[in-house]
């Protein structure tokens, strides 16, 4: 059972961040991000099917939480999704900024009271694990 590391807000909607099993950058609740984008239901369903059944299906995880199962996805999937919103003509700047601020706060929750140099090393390590460099 996992509880979120941090819950931010994007477009006034909650976006939960979770610990990554590999020690990489925190994962996000993908459906939270979809909801924050305020897409029509059919578009949300299409994106969810893409991430759960397409080429990135192995990158998503369903984790049990106190409120029920949550589909989590890695940082690169949030970046890709937010980028697609821009390609579709939506103004994605506020979504991108709010997502990134939430990710930063989730990383802060992971690092706790580490001194500055250790925080820098920890975030570099998380990024390298996220990219598959330290596996």
Q: In the numeric block, which tokens belong to residue 25? A: 């950058």
Tokens matching residue 101: 């601020």
User: Average pLDDT for residues 88-111, to the nearest whole number?
Assistant: 93
Average pLDDT, the chain: 91
Q: Is the pLDDT of residue 135 over 60?
A: no
**Which residue has better confidence, 47 or 64?**
64
Residue 134 reports pLDDT greater than 70: no
Q: What is d(CA 33, CA 45) in angstroms, rounded to the nearest whole number?
A: 13
Q: Is pLDDT above 80 for 109?
A: yes
pLDDT of amino acid 121: 93
Cα dihedral value 27, 34, 45, 60, nearest 10: -10
Indicate the DSSP class of residue 91: -
CB atoms within 10 A of CB 95: 22
């Amino acid at each position: 059972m996992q509880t979120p590391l941090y819950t931010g807000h994007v477009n006034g909607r909650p976006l939960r961040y979770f610990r990554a099993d590999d020690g990489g950058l925190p994962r996000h609740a993908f459906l939270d991000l979809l909801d924050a984008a305020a897409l029509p239901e059919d578009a949300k369903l299409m994106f969810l099917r893409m991430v759960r059944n397409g080429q990135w299906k192995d990158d998503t995880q369903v984790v049990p939480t106190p409120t029920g199962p949550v589909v989590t996805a890695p940082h690169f999937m949030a970046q890709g999704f937010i980028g697609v919103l821009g390609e579709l003509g939506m103004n994605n700047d506020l979504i991108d900024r709010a997502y990134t601020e939430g990710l930063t706060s989730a990383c802060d929750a992971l690092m706790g009271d580490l001194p500055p140099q250790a925080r820098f090393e920890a975030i570099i390590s998380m990024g390298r694990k996220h990219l598959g460099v330290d596996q």
